[in-house]
Amino acid sequence: MKLRTLSLALCFVAVAPFAAAQTAGTKAIAIKSEAANFQVKTVAQGLENAWGMAFLPDGSMLVTERPGRMRIVTADGKLGAPLSGLPKVVAQGQGGLLDVVLAPDFATSKKIYFSYSEPGEGSLNSTAVSFATLNGNKLENVTRVFSQKPKVNSTNHFGSRLVWAPDGTLFVTLGDRYSEKDKAQTLDNHQGKVVRINADGSAPKDNPFVKTPGALPEIWSFGHRNMQGAAINPVTKELWTGEHGPQGGDELNIDRAAKNYGWPVITYGENYGGGKIGEGTQKAGMEQPNYKWVPSIATAGFIFYTGDKFPQWKNNILLTSLREKTLVRLVVDGEKVTKEERMLAKELDQRLRHVVQGPDGLVYLLTDEVKSNIYQLSPQ
């Protein structure tokens, strides 16, 4: 039987029953899940194709909108005016303003880092990362620290999640740009790669390909398609990434230095409309996914939950899905995913773009719709 069309990934798992199905709004929705009963309430409305979110020390949220806006949303849900000072952004197709994270020393530096699709000559573009100083409603001293090479004429597969490693380096996930998928297998470009950079944009001296002739020194791993999720495992301190497959074959990977994750030589997906891609599902020297979804669910942002408000979810992965509109909970035992639970597809019926753990230990969801919302999950 043909895999279902549209991209992204596996496992048929029953959605957990719910106690009270209501239209999403200010009134909380009660949910019964397998491990913890909780309620969902709307925190903010009126965003447009929201993509990234980071909590500020005062409990407000810094939120990006793909059309090219960044706003501060107060803890009680009030949307601030768009911040001034952003660089030019190509807001076309899957491109636009993407992820945002605070610098590790934000308390003193007021620096934020953000990713976006950067224009080049004519119709060329690529994923870029800049930092800036947040001063009220302004971004000042904007400095680009990374730009994907080469720029290409495409509006697809930009990546890109930003994740700070425990050593203070920054991981950036990068898509293959769709039309350039074969470049994911070569090291003279940034297509289909995870890169690791220092805070100033330089390549760490211990990156795996620094001394490899012809390789770009920022590269950490390769053979990826389009990674829109990434997080550090709190137990092992390793990077995990979530990757969109083609028609089928979404992946969750433990992302290690110098490893080749196979795209487009091996995949559990197929071409849109059917047809084999590459050489099959396995090949010597190429990594197998740690977990996969066939058919695709369209994996997006995810976290490892480390708070105390949901002790039953401790160190579980909470992963958002665009296509299936579900929050996925994955139980992890060491390096192995032992259980999957899907939640909220019926209750919210919205594309879920990202999930963030708040400083209060609660869980916050960001939806990717023309009218995007922020939801809060709290224990019942």
| Catalytic positions | 157
> Quick one: 96 exposed, middle or buried, by C-beta within 10 A (0-12, 13-18, 19+)?
buried
- d(C-alpha 262, C-alpha 88), whole Å: 33
What are the residues whose beta carbons fall under 8 Å from the beta carbon of 205, sequence distance 6 or more?
none
> How many Cα atoms are found within 13 Å in the side-chain-facing hemisphere of 332?
25
> How many Cα atoms are found within 13 Å in the side-chain-facing hemisphere of 370?
0
> Quick one: 320 exposed, middle or buried, by C-beta within 10 A (0-12, 13-18, 19+)?
buried
The Cα-based distances of 319 to 38, 40, 227, 240, 327 in angstroms read 17, 16, 13, 12, 6
Helix residue ranges, H only, the chain = 106-109, 345-348
Distance of CA 309 to the CA centre of its chain: 23
Neighbours of 122 (CB within 10 A): 8
- d(C-alpha 375, C-alpha 61), whole Å: 12
- d(C-alpha 75, C-alpha 358), whole Å: 11
